[in-house]
Structure 1
Amino acid sequence: MNTESSDYESGFTIVELLVVIVIIGILATISIVSYAGISQRAIAASLISNLSDTAKQLNLYQITNGTYPNSLSQLNNGSGAQPSPNTNLSYSVTNSTNPQVFCITATNSGQRYNVTQDAIPAIGPCPLMNLDAGSSSSYHGNTSLNDISGNGNSGTIANGATYNSGTISIDGNGNYVSVHSSSTLNGFSNTMSASVWVYPTIIDGAYRRFISRGSYPSQNWYIEFDGSQPGKIVSNGGASNATLSVNNWYNIVTVYDGSTESLYINGTLDKTFSYAGGLPQSTDDIGIGADADGSSSFAGLISQASIYDKALTSSEVQQNYNLIHARYSNFSYAPILTNLSTNPSFEDDSVGNHIYPTNWNQYGSTGNVYGGVANDFSVYGSKSFKVSETASMDGGIWTQITGLTLGGNITLSAYIKSSSTVSNASLVLTTSQHGLSGNKTASNNQGANANGRYSVTLYGLDQTAVNIFIGQGSFGTMSYGNVWFDGIMLTAGSSIPNYADGSSSGWAWNGASNNSTSFGPAL
């Protein structure tokens, strides 16, 4: 009995053996996956190291010779760049721009990384065209955007489009950025990708182009708003699932791999379309913010536009979005100022003195600031802040807001009603002293019979403090009268949020007891 028991305990049943085999198989699979993950990370690290070393060699060459080399073979005293085994380097350079620019792509086992003269590695290949209004290498104070891909496909800011703190402002009336046709842009049809960062301010029943090769009706490829479905995006393959809204930043990417077009919004795949047969060959110019001829103009801000002759992978699209989207986070809003004081009623006290909100000051020696006046807006409160102007000095109130983010944006909005004799009802943001000019100043000046909600945005803050002014501004010859302000709101970013009740007709704070302490959605 004991012997039999001992024999039984020293062996394995068939079931136990099968369990062991399964466990060994699982462990082997885990090891293979783990090894594959480690191997991929090692390749990525090697590619980034190769790019860093080569970029240093290029910059050393430029310091010595005044230009970057025309070929990587000129590096290391003619022995060339020396990448790791199985790594391929491709290189493009433009020495005719100021600053001079280059881009290198390193490829190994299907992984691709690139780096420019700015020395920040990014996933994916170098683009054929890369225009970035937020980069000093691409824009530095003139009417052109340098192509920082190294391929020389620079853009011209045309027909009244303007630079606006790291973006190009396009009003929807024919202004855009024009890029001329070139040999590098003409040589592909089987695969391509295009990426653009846009901030629409108008979405209506019009077809408004973000980017286009050629012009309607013979365009080669394009991304635009769908005029028949406002807010939808249309590309060669069809319309998006998602619907865009105004006053938000979006990264729109289209990828064509030879048979399928994929549309991405903010790094996420939105829709795929079957699109076989290749893109038509084209030598047309490229329009950014419109067709190539300036028609079908977009309305809003455009910051970046890139074109590739390769199909980006979903991982490359996602990681490129992740790399840069924080740059646009200042455009989302959160309340900076809710109530000016515990009870900002603006009413005169018992002896006729004007009550000002905490830390606010009267501006101008003859402008009269009143409280306790009737609110002509008819809803949400019975009193408004009123300025009665009787002479040529500015009349109103001003204060300073501190602790802001350099490079960010700030928006002042209010409901304004003015009498028939007023020439200026002003909302002003400035980083100067409390005057109306300085380092950065933005203003919205409404005239007679204003009646609605208005706003002004100061982009790209150059200081961490901003002075805000509400009242009647002295901007030359003017007429005088009464101006009422209500629902005054100061927010981070360039969006104009709703008030506490979720509508655009409530009040952030006003002259009655309806004083909101919070508003707008959370970040």
Structure 2
Amino acid sequence: MSLKSISTFLASVLLIGFTIASGIIVYYFLTNLPKVQTTEISSQASKVLSCAGDTFDVKVRNCNLLNGLVLWLPMDEGSGTITYDYSGYGNNGTLYNGTNICSNPPTSGCPTWVDGKIGKALSFDGSDDYVTIGNVGSGVTSGSSNDIGSLLGNGPFTVTLWYKPISNPGSSDWDFLLDQRADINWGDGFYILNDGRLSNKILFGVADSTSSEKTVNSNTQLQVNNWYHIVALYDGSAIRIYVNGNFENSVSQTTRRSNTVGAVIGSRYSKDQKYVNGIIDEVHIYNRALSEDEIKQLYYNGLTNKFNITIGLLNFGYADLGKSFNAIVYLKNGTILQLPLVLNRDLTKGSYLEKTLTIDGYYPSYGLVDKIMVCSNDCQGVCSEIKINNQC
């Protein structure tokens, strides 16, 4: 045997010996792993491989309280001179003291930020405080296509707000909570006021023709330092008023005269009289008549300061996604909430399951939610999201 052949033979023997030794070491290591750990590694690897690239769809059910919003003022800023509109139409409110826009930060005499029914609110002093929304005031008879009057047209609408009187107007006086009229007194638009002439009941007025209007009042007499949820609506056949979730009165009305201007909160449309002395919070205006169920939902959500989101998951992929998910809720104010979402059973291929999440400390349901992302915990990296405004 040549020297070269011997070298080759020895190299082969050494290689085989090394391979066998390595195999023994690897075999010994693997077989001596704890049983549970081995199972977990194998199960997780299998799950990742079987879920890779899988997809599912997210639905949000019963979110009607977003539909038709043309104004949504949570009034939760807590500082500054603007209360922002979350309806998407940009009808932000500007704080005023008399004829002057409040400085930033607001000085004495301006509407003040206080604790509200939900979050923060605005307190009005009954002297010269108010908030303007869009084009309003004496001499303003028309506005823009984005003003509340233009967005509502002459069809049905609903106004909802929380109100806490600090003092009530006297027996020959009245305070405006909201006024959506132009510079034609009683000729167009609508208003809501605390009417001392009616022993401090809510009065809701809606114009039905030039210089003519229909009014309806609540049965409830307002007591100072108590919160009230006020809902006033026109549905095409009548004007109706609700207090604290309960229907109180209606008056027949089949037509209404509209305008194209904005609105004033806390004063007459002219911004110079009948100022409210109280706290106002959570103002909504819809371009439709809310149902009684929706009105009750808004009221009870406000009482508990929580809301429910019903999330539906549709698995149209090829893998079983398990029943453990994580819901990531993105609010419009930048807050991100992460909540466990555990289904009653596995979301198998082709199945659709729903689960309701209860979220504490946020209101009024879907109004402040921007989007929701849901991710499977069993199939990591498999997620789906829904943009609430576009798909609700």
TM-score under structure 2 length normalisation: 0.50
Higher RCO, 1 or 2 (CA under 8 Å, sep at least 6)?
2
Whose strand fraction is larger, Structure 1's or Structure 2's?
2
